[in-house]
């Protein structure tokens, strides 16, 4: 067997495993291994600080603060902190008018330093983080806090439902479809060990487990594996729910994903994700399967396509494989012309893998910026 054949089949096998085999493996393990018991009811409600980092969110911050104050939690045990990150609109004044307990008016520093400032300026035992455009259900905070009844839990994230903001051809983003698949994986990971990524729309840590990270990184990606390395559990709580508008167009989502992946690659390459120290065997497998192989999918696709082309004529199997690979690219291209669900999903898959690769290119070429901009159509 030639090296070319081995490289082709290994790349194909890794792609199929990352997208299909890994979910199946989690499903089987979840049925063979004992499930983690449901968290006990809270014996005492901890003091909670809900922190929102906001850059020019004047249009939505009032509703966000009102939503936070309406959560099912004792008002005297809830502190709402808005960190206005270099805003040149009325974000700060609207947050105060809506009833935020503390509004920090900061020089432009980026999301992570803004959240760090909110943590330093508050005193709650439980630190809850949410985005300005996420509307939480009334019991979301109570459900999220229940996870911390287990003293081994250092981090928990909830479930955000993405709703389509656009109509017609302006609503071609399939993030909601992908996110349902992703949440199913996180639910299984949480049951078996810990999640490999979180959700900035609704996530929480104990004050004692909070980590100050490199400001170019991202809490969603960095917190779960860093918690595991420190001996904590990082759980997914699907009953803690919120709603967020997704970027309506695939073009807008591509730009958002490219910016986000620049932060992710900083975490992968410089944040310690690739070091298995502290993981254990089960979590190491999760990180390899769900993070490393997922982020490397574009490279695997490129290797599979190139080696497949070089193997044409050796067997009908290679001819058929090339047809399938080119068919995926053709379906993605047609997704911009024909509004069929399968074509739009193919387009989303190809575009997001390309965005991940370009995010790596941006990170290597010019580094990762600290600041962020609001994605189009999500407010």
Per-residue model confidence as pLDDT tens for the chain (379 residues): 699 999 999 999 999 999 999 999 999 999 999 877 777 777 789 999 999 999 999 999 999 999 999 999 999 999 999 999 999 999 999 999 999 999 999 999 999 999 999 999 999 999 999 999 999 999 999 999 999 999 999 999 999 988 766 545 555 666 777 888 999 999 999 999 999 999 999 999 999 999 999 999 999 999 999 999 999 999 999 999 999 987 777 888 888 899 999 999 999 999 999 999 999 999 999 999 999 999 999 999 999 999 999 999 889 999 999 999 999 999 999 987 777 888 888 999 999 999 999 999 999 998 887 777 676 655 6
Start-to-end C-alpha separation, the chain:
56
Does any domain span residue 325?
Answer: no
Strand 233-245 with 153-163, pairing:
parallel
Does any domain span residue 374?
Answer: no
User: What is the C-alpha separation between 346 and 355, in angstroms, rounded?
Assistant: 14
298-301's contacts with Cβ under 8 Å and 24+ in sequence apart are: 298/353, 298/354, 298/356, 298/357, 299/357, 300/11, 300/14, 300/15, 300/18, 301/11, 301/15, 301/325, 301/353
Q: Give the residue among 246, 244, 243, 224 at the shortest CA–CA distance from 235.
A: 224
- According to DSSP, the residues that pair with 103 across neighbouring strands are 82
Does any domain span residue 77?
Answer: yes
User: What is the C-alpha separation between 341 and 343, in angstroms, rounded?
Assistant: 5
Does any domain span residue 259?
Answer: no
Does any domain span residue 156?
Answer: yes
Cα dihedral 62, 68, 74, 76, rounded to 10, equals: -50
- Beta-carbon contacts of 29 under 8 Å, excluding residues fewer than 6 positions away, are 188, 192
Q: Is residue 258 within 8 Å of 178, Cβ to Cβ?
A: no
Q: Say how many domains are in the chain.
A: 1
Measure the CA angle with vertex 159, ends 156 and 162; round to 5°.
145
CATH of the domain at 165: 3.90.550.10
Range of the domain at 221: 48-249
User: What is the C-alpha separation between 125 and 147, in angstroms, rounded?
Assistant: 14
Does any domain span residue 228?
Answer: yes
Does any domain span residue 21?
Answer: no
Q: How many CA atoms lie within 13 A of 321 on its CB side?
A: 23
Does any domain span residue 82?
Answer: yes
């Amino acid at each position: 067997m030639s090296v070319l054949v081995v490289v082709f089949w290994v790349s194909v096998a890794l792609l199929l495993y990352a997208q299909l085999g890994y979910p199946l493996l989690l499903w089987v393990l979840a049925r063979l291994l004992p499930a983690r018991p449901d968290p006990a009811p809270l014996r005492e409600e901890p003091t909670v600080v809900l922190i929102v980092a906001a850059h020019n969110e004047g249009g939505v911050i009032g509703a966000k603060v009102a939503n936070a104050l309406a959560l099912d939690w004792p008002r005297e045990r809830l502190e709402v902190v808005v960190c206005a990150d270099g805003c040149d609109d009325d974000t700060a004044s609207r947050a105060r008018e809506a009833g935020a307990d503390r509004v920090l008016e900061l020089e432009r520093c980026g999301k992570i330093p803004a959240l760090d400032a909110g943590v330093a300026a508050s005193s709650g035992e439980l630190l809850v983080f949410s985005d300005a455009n996420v509307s939480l259900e009334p019991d979301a905070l109570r459900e999220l806090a229940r996870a911390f009844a287990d003293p081994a839990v250092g981090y928990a994230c909830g479930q955000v439902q993405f709703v389509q903001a656009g109509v017609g051809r302006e609503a071609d983003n399939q993030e909601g479809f992908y996110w349902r698949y992703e949440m199913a994986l996180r639910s299984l990971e949480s049951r078996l060990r810990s999640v490999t990524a979180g959700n900035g729309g609704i996530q929480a840590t104990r004050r004692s487990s909070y980590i100050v990270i490199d400001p170019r990184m991202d809490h969603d990606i960095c917190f779960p594996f860093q918690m595991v390395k420190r001996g904590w559990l990082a759980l997914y709580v699907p009953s803690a729910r919120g709603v967020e508008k997704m970027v309506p167009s695939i073009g807008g989502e591509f730009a958002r994903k490219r910016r986000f992946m620049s932060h992710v690659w900083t975490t992968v390459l410089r944040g310690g994700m690739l070091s298995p120290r502290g993981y254990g065997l089960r979590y190491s497998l999760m990180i390899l399967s769900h993070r490393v192989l997922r982020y490397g999918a574009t490279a695997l696709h490129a290797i599979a396509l190139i080696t497949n082309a070089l193997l044409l004529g050796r067997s009908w199997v290679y001819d058929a494989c090339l047809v399938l690979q080119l068919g995926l690219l053709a379906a993605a291209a047609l997704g911009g012309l024909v509004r069929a669900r399968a074509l739009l999903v193919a387009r989303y898959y190809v575009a997001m893998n390309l965005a991940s690769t370009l995010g790596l290119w941006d990170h290597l070429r010019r580094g990762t910026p600290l600041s962020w901009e609001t994605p189009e159509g999500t407010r």
